[in-house]
Amino acid sequence: MYFYDPAERDPKELVPGINARTFWGENMLIAVVDLDPDTHMPRHSHHHEQLGNVIQGQMELTIGDEKRLVKPGDVYIIPSGVEHEAQTFDESVKVIDVFSPVREEYK
Amino acid sequence: MYFYDPAERDPKELVPGINARTFWGENMLIAVVDLDPDTHMPRHSHHHEQLGNVIQGQMELTIGDEKRLVKPGDVYIIPSGVEHEAQTFDESVKVIDVFSPVREEYK
């Protein structure tokens, strides 16, 4: 089984208003994340390295002490242990987040 | 430096008609890949695990002995060592590919 359609996978609610559909291999887990408008992912960190890509919409993303308004196409890299948080505004946002090692609690 | 705009990064030509803009951390490398119409990525394999997500367009993707027409939103997971190839048709295609460990030759 190599191919997946996120529309066929049940979402997991990470926090209210933020839902992820996740898929994983041996070393990485990919999360297709939908964020509702006016939603906040609280500041947090984890030992997993995280790469992200914005698919749709804009949001404010803070990584360490850098804060940016990210837009479709933008890439971000969150090293292991670095705190980060996100805030959406008047539109829904879709991002891809990839974690290594596999984030077991997101399976 | 946590944030990147692929438009500001020079592309690398992987094969004629397939160009990637790459970014990396410690454990993963993300490639924003643009494929021209009527372009072929020859069958190949590597020890890196690869996750992908289709951003724009449709293409035929073969992983091992499974062949699919993939569309925007689709996710694919290519385990270490499994051969794969891609073929585009009458439109340009954009995908995100993430490799772990970092694919050094794509830096």
Å from A90 to nearest chain B CA? Answer: 22
Q: Is residue B77 part of a domain?
A: yes
CB-closest option in B78, B79, B98 to A98 = B98
Is the pTM of the predicted complex or chain greater than 0.90?
Answer: yes
Eight-class DSSP state of A57: S
User: Could you read off the pLDDT of A30-81 as tens digits, one per residue?
Assistant: 999 999 999 999 999 999 999 999 999 999 999 999 999 999 999 999 999 9
Q: Is residue A37 part of a domain?
A: yes
Q: Let me know if residue B26 belongs to a domain.
A: yes
Cα–Cα dist A54/A70, whole Å: 7
* Strand order through the sheet with A66-70: A40-44, A84-88, A59-63, A66-70
Nearest CA to CA, how far is B4 from chain A (Å)? 5
Does residue B87 lie in a domain region? Answer: yes
Is residue A27 one of the residues assigned to a domain?
yes
In a domain, A1, yes or no: no
Q: What is the amino acid identity at position B30? A: I
In a domain, A2, yes or no: no
Closest CA–CA distance from residue B86 to any residue of chain A (Å): 14
Secondary structure (3-state) at B83: coil
Per-residue pLDDT of chain B (107 residues; tens, 9 = 90+): 899 999 999 999 999 999 999 999 999 999 999 999 999 999 999 999 999 999 999 999 999 999 999 999 999 999 999 999 999 999 999 999 999 999 999 99
Counting the structural domains of chain A, the total is 1
Q: Which residues, in sequence order, are bridge partners of residue A23? A: A30
Residue A23 is given by DSSP the state E
A51 vs B28, B61, B76: nearest CB = B28
CA distance B99 to B77: 10
Kindly state whether residue A3 falls inside one of the protein's structural domains.
no
In this structure, what CATH number is given to the domain that contains residue A33?
2.60.120.10
Say how far apart CA B54 and CA B60 lie, in whole Å. 11
* Closest CB to B76 among A3, A64, A82: A3
Binary contact (B80, A26; C-beta < 8 A): yes
Domain hosting B30: range is: 6-106
Give the residue from A28, A65, A107 with the most B CB atoms within 10 Å of its CB, the best one to mutate. A28
For A97, residues 6+ apart whose C-beta sits below 8 A from its C-beta are A20, A30, A31, A33, A50, A51, A52
Does the structure's ipTM exceed the value 0.85? yes
Q: Using the beta-carbon criterion (under 8 Å), do B66 and A24 form an inter-chain contact?
A: no
The CA radius of gyration of chain A, in Å to the nearest whole number, is 13
The interface residues of chain B toward chain A in range 33-52, judged by CB-CB distance below 8 A, are 49, 51
Q: What's the rounded Cα separation, in Å, for the pair B88 and B32?
A: 16
Q: Do B75 and A4 touch (CB under 8 A)?
A: yes
